[in-house]
Amino acid sequence: MKKCFLFLMLMFLFCAGCSMEDLGFEYSNGTGLNITQEKYDKLDYGDSYSFVKVILGGSCDNYYSSDNEDWYTCIDDKDSSKRIVLKFVNGKLESKSSSGLN
């Protein structure tokens, strides 16, 4: 039950756009990602995940996988409010969304 509550709280914070810095935590996920609007704009539908990693400069967290579908969350290493969510189908970028980019 505690794990479920924690998961729901984290999902609420993610959906609300609240960053860890807003809560007083220093944040670094160690991925080396520097998320910018320019990099997001370079992501094209049909790109492979390996090509996306080159554009973004690091790996994203895979939070869902099925036989032909993968979802990734890419969080800036220094500012957790900068995020990109990517959906790949059959290894190709099908959809993308962002938050916290200017």
- The pLDDT confidence band at residue 62, using thresholds 50, 70 and 90, is very high
Structure tokens at 45: 């539908």
What percentage of the chain exceeds 90 in pLDDT?
58
- CATH number of the domain to which 87 belongs: 3.30.1450.10
pLDDT of residue 35: 93
The answer to whether 83 touches 100, Cβ cutoff 8 Å, is yes
Cα angle value 35/38/40 (rounded, 5°): 60
- The pLDDT confidence band at residue 32, using thresholds 50, 70 and 90, is confident
Range of the domain at 73: 2-99
Q: Residue 67 pLDDT more than 80?
A: yes
Q: Residue 37 pLDDT more than 90?
A: yes
> How many domains, in total, are found in the chain?
1
What percentage of the chain exceeds 70 in pLDDT?
70
